[in-house]
């Protein structure tokens, strides 16, 4: 039989008309305190000469001292030391794979303004951690922290190199645009913008220029930038300067990210204002915190998070007069009762959702007090006054949600038991490894919970599927043919469509995790990438999933003539 397979190539993102979402920096610089800018070189632990500007509290010597105090081991650099000029993606790489045999049925369309994008995080992709003025941040210590507590670190690596996106960002954006990705969410590294972290210290002009160019290049290629201000990458100064700060066991979260530090709130607001003022004219969506619960240590942690978020929201809306959106990215997906008819399961679910989600969204989305689950669990919580609630209320344009008691209670502080096993003994979905299950059947219920509880538009972020690192030794063609990942994405998005049209939930968009197999908080073993990474050459290779998802969404987008 003759092969009649149709050969198609991906349709690239197209440049869009110039859009502005706020005034240029030149018109709003007066809203910031007087700022000094400077630049620094790279830190090299093997350097044979030392800086001679010890008298300057923020000079190269002071910069190097922060790295010396960090006591990082086995420091390494990647293969790049300057920004790489992009090259067009060859047509041969843009050939769409053969269609999947089974695809979700349905006649629904995505709304005109639905956003399909890809998420990333600075610590997980940038590398170049000690280049051009960047100072130590919490992720730089994860492996050393693991060593200090006797954990098995045989499969762990530091973030020193990652995917070298800091120098390869133009090629990365070129590759996303070439397959039709129109939104790119990334985070700006605080310890690059302000190497000494706090107000009154110099701003790194190299860092501002870097992110300015990243934003401009994305727009040039038809990709809209989405900016997160912090993604677990708190500057080291807030956790004591080295790995020992991570050893503090948080009361509610999973890692000490310094949010409880008494200087954190003012410092974060200062940093956020600098970044927003510089880029508000070109960035339409801002995320203040990524998954804030992860770094919660004590009650003051939550207080500092929600109040600094609200202060930046009001700065953007009231002072910058921005026309975009400001939100916070929640990390805990809503829990569902294992047995809906079981009253104790329902009560446990409410407790879990109140503690993990309501703690932040009650005040920020509804202007309501903390839920009892939080106040009963965190003894040193900071009470909210009526003035606080009025200031915090509705300081979210939407809810970005990752698809991802007493101390004697063995389940403290959650005080409930969670499971991925259904009441009938089956897994909730396919589970290759790590923490992700293909549990698309529950998506509608989770979106309904958030919509009905908080009545705010939703954006799904960081939804993806991890495969094992053992696949890295497979033939490249086999790695690229990631049908399981495609099926996960398409079934998930099919449920999103049902949620929009059958349940009336306002879902604004979905951002996939991740662009490329990247550094997953201490390891490369968990591979979420829509592109394969050759870690020797840093070459990226598309997997079929990125074509399948773009095809699925574009084929179901509402015709522009109907918008």
Can you give the pTM of this predicted structure? 0.94
In a domain, 427, yes or no: yes
Structural domain range at position 252: 25-46+55-562
Rounded distance between C-alpha atoms, residue 287 and residue 325, angstroms: 9
Give the residue among 362, 358, 355, 357 at the shortest CA–CA distance from 405.
Answer: 355
Residue 341 token pair? 């008819």
* Pairing outcome for strands 183-187 and 224-230: parallel
Number of domains making up the chain? 1
Mapped onto helix, strand or coil, the DSSP state of residue 475 is coil
In a domain, 19, yes or no: no
In a domain, 5, yes or no: no
Q: Going residue by residue through the chain (563 aa), what tens digit of pLDDT does each one get?
A: 566 678 899 999 999 999 999 999 999 999 999 999 999 999 999 988 889 999 999 999 999 999 999 999 999 999 999 999 999 999 999 999 999 988 887 789 999 999 999 999 999 999 999 999 999 999 999 999 898 888 889 889 999 999 999 999 999 999 999 999 999 999 999 999 999 999 999 999 999 999 999 999 999 999 999 999 999 999 999 999 888 888 777 778 888 999 999 999 999 999 999 999 999 999 999 999 999 999 998 999 999 999 999 999 999 999 999 999 999 999 878 888 878 888 888 888 899 999 999 999 999 999 999 999 999 999 899 999 999 999 999 999 888 877 653 333 334 455 555 666 766 776 666 666 656 666 677 899 999 999 999 999 999 999 999 887 655 568 999 999 999 999 999 999 999 999 999 999 999 999 999 999 999 999 998 899 999 999 999 999 999 999 999 999 999 998 876 77
Q: List all residues 6 or more positions away from 463 whose beta carbon is below 8 Å from its beta carbon.
A: 402, 403, 404, 489, 492, 510, 511, 512, 513
Q: List all residues 6 or more positions away from 304 whose beta carbon is below 8 Å from its beta carbon.
A: 259, 260, 261, 264, 265, 268
In a domain, 97, yes or no: yes
Residue listed under structure tokens 């550094």? 519
Q: List all residues 6 or more positions away from 417 whose beta carbon is below 8 Å from its beta carbon.
A: 348, 411
Asked if 298 and 377 count as a contact pair (C-beta separation under 8 A), the reply is: no
Asked if 226 and 287 count as a contact pair (C-beta separation under 8 A), the reply is: yes
Rounded distance between C-alpha atoms, residue 239 and residue 256, angstroms: 7
CATH code where residue 81 lies: 3.20.20.80
């Amino acid at each position: 039989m003759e092969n009649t397979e149709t050969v198609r190539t991906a349709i690239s993102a197209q440049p869009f008309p110039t859009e502005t979402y706020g005034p240029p920096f030149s018109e709003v610089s007066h809203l910031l305190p007087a700022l000094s800018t400077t630049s620094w070189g790279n830190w090299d632990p093997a350097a044979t000469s030392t800086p001679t500007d010890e008298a300057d509290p923020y000079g190269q010597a002071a910069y190097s001292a922060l790295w010396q105090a960090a006591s990082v081991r086995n420091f390494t650099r990647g293969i790049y030391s300057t920004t790489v000029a992009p090259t067009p993606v060859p047509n041969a790489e843009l050939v769409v794979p053969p269609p999947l045999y089974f695809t979700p049925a349905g006649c629904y369309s995505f709304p005109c303004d639905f956003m399909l994008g890809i998420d990333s995080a600075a610590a997980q992709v940038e590398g170049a951690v000690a280049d051009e003025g960047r100072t130590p941040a919490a992720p730089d210590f994860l492996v050393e922290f693991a060593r200090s507590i006797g954990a098995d670190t045989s499969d762990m690596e530091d973030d020193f190199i990652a995917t070298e996106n800091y120098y390869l960002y133009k090629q990365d954006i070129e590759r996303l645009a070439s397959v039709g990705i129109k939104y790119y969410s990334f985070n700006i590294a605080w310890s690059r913008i302000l190497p000494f972290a706090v107000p009154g210290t110099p701003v790194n002009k190299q860092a501002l220029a870097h992110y300015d160019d990243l934003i401009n290049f994305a727009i040039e290629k038809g990709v809209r930038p989405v900016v997160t201000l912090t993604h677990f990458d708190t500057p080291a100064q807030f956790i004591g300067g080295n790995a020992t700060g991570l050893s503090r066991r948080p009361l509610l979260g999973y890692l000490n990210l310094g949010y409880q530090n008494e200087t954190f709130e003012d410092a974060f607001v200062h940093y956020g204002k600098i970044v927003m003022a510089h880029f508000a004219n070109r960035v339409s969506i801002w995320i203040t915190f990524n998954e804030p619960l992860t770094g919660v240590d004590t009650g003051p942690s939550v207080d500092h998070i929600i109040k600094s978020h609200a202060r930046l929201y009001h700065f953007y809306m009231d002072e910058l007069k921005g026309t975009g959106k400001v939100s916070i990215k929640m990390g805990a997906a809503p829990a569902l009762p294992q047995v809906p008819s079981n009253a104790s399961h329902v009560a446990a679910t409410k407790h879990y959702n109140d503690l993990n989600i309501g703690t932040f969204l009650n005040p920020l989305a509804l202007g309501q007090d903390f839920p009892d689950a939080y106040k009963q669990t965190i003894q040193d919580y900071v009470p909210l006054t009526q003035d606080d609630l009025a200031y915090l209320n509705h300081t979210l344009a939407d809810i970005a949600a990752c698809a991802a008691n007493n101390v004697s209670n063995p389940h403290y502080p959650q005080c409930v038991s969670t499971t991925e096993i259904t009441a009938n003994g089956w897994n909730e979905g396919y589970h290759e490894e790590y923490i992700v299950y293909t549990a698309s059947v529950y998506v509608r219920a989770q979106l309904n919970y958030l919509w009905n509880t908080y009545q705010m538009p939703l954006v799904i972020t960081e939804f993806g599927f991890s495969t094992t690192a053992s696949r890295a030794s497979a033939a490249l063609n086999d790695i690229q043919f990631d049908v399981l990942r495609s099926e996960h994405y398409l079934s998930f998005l099919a449920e999103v469509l049902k949620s929009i049209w059958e349940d009336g939930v306002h879902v604004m968009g979905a951002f996939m995790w991740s662009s490329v197999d990247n550094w997953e908080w201490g390891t490369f073993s968990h591979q979420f990438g829509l592109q394969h990474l050759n870690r020797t050459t840093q070459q990226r290779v598309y997997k079929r999933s990125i074509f399948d998802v773009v095809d699925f969404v574009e084929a179901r987008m509402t015709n522009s003539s109907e918008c």
